Amino acid sequence: MPKVTLKDVAARAGVHTSTASRALDPDKGSLVREDTVERVRAAARELGYQGDAIASGLRRGRTNTLGIVVADLGNPFIAPVVRGIENHLEGRGLMALIAESRDDPDRMNRVLNNLAARRVDAVIVTGARNGDERALCRAQQQIPIVLAVRYLPDSGIPAITHDDERGGQLAADHFLAHGHRRIAQLCGPHDISSFRERAAGFRRRLEEHDVPTIEVDETAQRPMLEEGRRLMELLLARHGEPPSAVFAHNDLMAVGALEALASRGRACPDDVAIIGYNDTTMTAFTHPPLTTIRLPGYELGRMAADTAVMLIDDREQPGTSLSLPPVLVARHSTLGWSTTPRADDRRAQDGAADRRR
Amino acid sequence: MPKVTLKDVAARAGVHTSTASRALDPDKGSLVREDTVERVRAAARELGYQGDAIASGLRRGRTNTLGIVVADLGNPFIAPVVRGIENHLEGRGLMALIAESRDDPDRMNRVLNNLAARRVDAVIVTGARNGDERALCRAQQQIPIVLAVRYLPDSGIPAITHDDERGGQLAADHFLAHGHRRIAQLCGPHDISSFRERAAGFRRRLEEHDVPTIEVDETAQRPMLEEGRRLMELLLARHGEPPSAVFAHNDLMAVGALEALASRGRACPDDVAIIGYNDTTMTAFTHPPLTTIRLPGYELGRMAADTAVMLIDDREQPGTSLSLPPVLVARHSTLGWSTTPRADDRRAQDGAADRRR
DNA sequence: CTGTTAGCGCCTTCAA
DNA sequence: TTGAAGGCGCTAACAG
């Protein structure tokens, strides 16, 4: 099947290629006489002409492509963010090239180079981590970059994040409001901004109320179930009275903590109340259902995409960083079984279409 | 920052652009004298040269880009598939352009056109649905297409799927082995191959054992929690003795069924045993934990990518369709609380890195 | 309004 | 082993 080019269309319509080009370009159609436009369109249709965005991109110096770098596509939290980006791009004629950094600075570097070589118009990085500064700043010389979810302090790269400090505060407030005074947290890795801030916000709010924060020395190597269990066990093995409330830095760690409690024969929330983070689907189904912090991932994706589009168009944007507010979703793991949480607690995070295979 | 082109590099190295091009191409390096290669490389490094994949693609007629069309990025089942594709592409110098069809034939059509315009080397479609045949067959004239997860009968398009018929059989076998004889299923939409086959495999296996399949007339509009609950209620409202075992066509529907049971004061599995499908994360945490069918999503992604790469290279591949076997994961929703399921039941589906934010 | 001309940045003949 | 020339498919500038 010989691919049909603009030249073919032009020939069939009996016009020059540039005329054909103009006739087919929605922005330039007005420069061409009505009936010529019609003739060209007809020719294109008859030949099954499919424009070549590559050639066009080369000429125009714009690919209408946006790079997305995520740390891990398997992370359930990332899906709504990517959807938010996608949906915002849609209609603007942009498409997303997607890649995984896997929390590895080397890979981050390679991926950014690859994206640069493909001349994407901008890049949204959701998986930035301490250690990526160099690669990101270098890439930023060539392409507009927007950080999402995680940010890099002092990098000067615009970032759309969740207000994780606020998230930590919400958790602390909830515990305080329920009368807890022996309060602990299980920390995620400190080289990721999100976890640092959760820890800081939580600690600060407790301090404001003169309540000490109980912490084990270690942070989770990776914010996963096993680490949550391990840290919780360390916590329970400490001297002195055990905490009555524990803030885990994400839902999986919270579930690990639940298990550690169960295996020690301690009840949640009667002995220890627990709060998780992210409001992943499972939180509505754990036993007891988990109080957690819900983040507006979809919104965040949309805003990141919006920022990227603005950077593409203007190239002149001061540090338009932004931070979206989280919300606490109260369930039985802090309320106990006597209270009935709101009925819609199990709703998906983004409220959008939620089809399952 | 004036972008540096091959011409600049060539000038700095004191050679012609064609020589520079050859020197920088790993496949052609041998055509150039050693020291010339070195000089060119040095020049490239010094200038911070970044090749232009767009221009190169235009010339070579190959973009090293692969399109992925998914129905819904929010579907937790899709993540491992996309990861599998990504990881297989990685290292082959390919990258993925990703788009959502949202189970809408119009969108599917638009998305395929867009991908075609961008001259992707191949497309993997994970979200095919009855109604997409026309668009897909048309696109296939221009680009190699591989279906994944869902397939279209009689389309002749190669497909890497899960063996959903086998999945249905596994569910039936499990119920039969546990002595059930009043067995029902809650069906997902029949215009999606996966659900059709689950239903057929399940029904057939029961027939082989002369056990009738109890079904309500309706199928789920969309395979979600509310629909699972609704269908389960219809089932319980039927005349005659209610079923003792129910196969729901996915995990969310199963959870809906659990809720319908609970609200009627009936126990799972003592009154009714339940099996779900997909082994999404939540299944390990429901109450009771859900017996379900686990699908090798990551593997499937890898194989789909592999098939796509072969199509790109050869263009001459007979219908290399493939179907991957699912596995039943037994938990309390069928076993009861007396038995302890295997310890690793809650593991992520793909066994790969499982980082959480 | 339409045609001409001249590339975008790269790679691949072909000839030296 | 290297250089010269031409063109991938499209579009922007400039004429007419």
Kindly report, residue by residue over B322-350, the tens digit of the pLDDT. Answer: 999 999 999 999 998 765 544 333 333 33
3-state secondary structure of B12: helix
Q: How many Å from the CA of A195 to C1' of C7?
A: 51
Q: How many Å from the CA of B288 to C1' of C9?
A: 62
How many other C-beta atoms are found inside a 10 Å radius of the C-beta of residue A291?
A: 28
pLDDT tens digits, A202-246 = 999 999 999 999 999 999 998 889 999 999 999 999 888 899 999
* Half-sphere exposure of residue A315: CA atoms within 13 angstroms, side-chain side: 6
Sheet with A273-275, side-by-side order of all strands: A213-215, A183-186, A245-248, A273-275
> Rounded to whole angstroms, how far apart are CA atoms B201 and A276?
40
Judged by CB atoms within 8 Å, which residues 114-133 of A form the interface with B? 114, 116-119
How many other C-beta atoms are found inside a 10 Å radius of the C-beta of residue B52?
A: 17
Cβ–Cβ < 8 Å for B261, B267: yes
* Contacts with A98 from chain B: Cβ below 8 Å: 82, 86, 95-98
Choose the closest CB to B73 out of A82, A117, A286.
A82
> Rounded to whole angstroms, how far apart are CA atoms A274 and A175?
9
Strand B183-186 relative to strand B245-248, pairing: parallel
Residue B32 sits at φ, ψ, to 5 deg, of: -120, 145
Report the pLDDT value the prediction gives residue B315, as an integer from 0 to 100: 55
pLDDT band at A282 (very low <50, low <70, confident <90, very high): confident
Average pLDDT of chain A to the nearest whole number: 90
Residue B24: CB less than 7 A from any atom in strand D: no
As given in the structure block, the two tokens for residue B174 are 């499990």
> Rounded to whole angstroms, how far apart are CA atoms A6 and B187?
49
| A357·B223 Cβ contact <8 A | yes
Report the pLDDT value the prediction gives residue B286, as an integer from 0 to 100: 86
Choose the closest CB to B356 out of A75, A116, A357.
A75
- Higher pLDDT, residue A39 or B344: A39
pTM of the model: 0.89
Q: Does A50 touch chain B (CB under 8 A)?
A: yes
Q: How many Å from the CA of B56 to C1' of C10?
A: 5
Q: Which of the nucleotides in strand C have any atom less than 7 Å away from a protein CB atom?
A: 1-5, 7-13
**Of A78, A79, A224, which Cα lies nearest the Cα of A150?**
A78
Cβ–Cβ < 8 Å for A249, A199: yes
Q: Does A65 touch chain B (CB under 8 A)?
A: yes
Q: Does A78 touch chain B (CB under 8 A)?
A: yes
Average pLDDT of span A284-299: 93
Task: Give the nucleotide at minimum CA-to-C1' distance from B5.
Answer: C9
- The C-alpha of A339 sits at a distance from chain B's nearest C-alpha, in angstroms, of 17
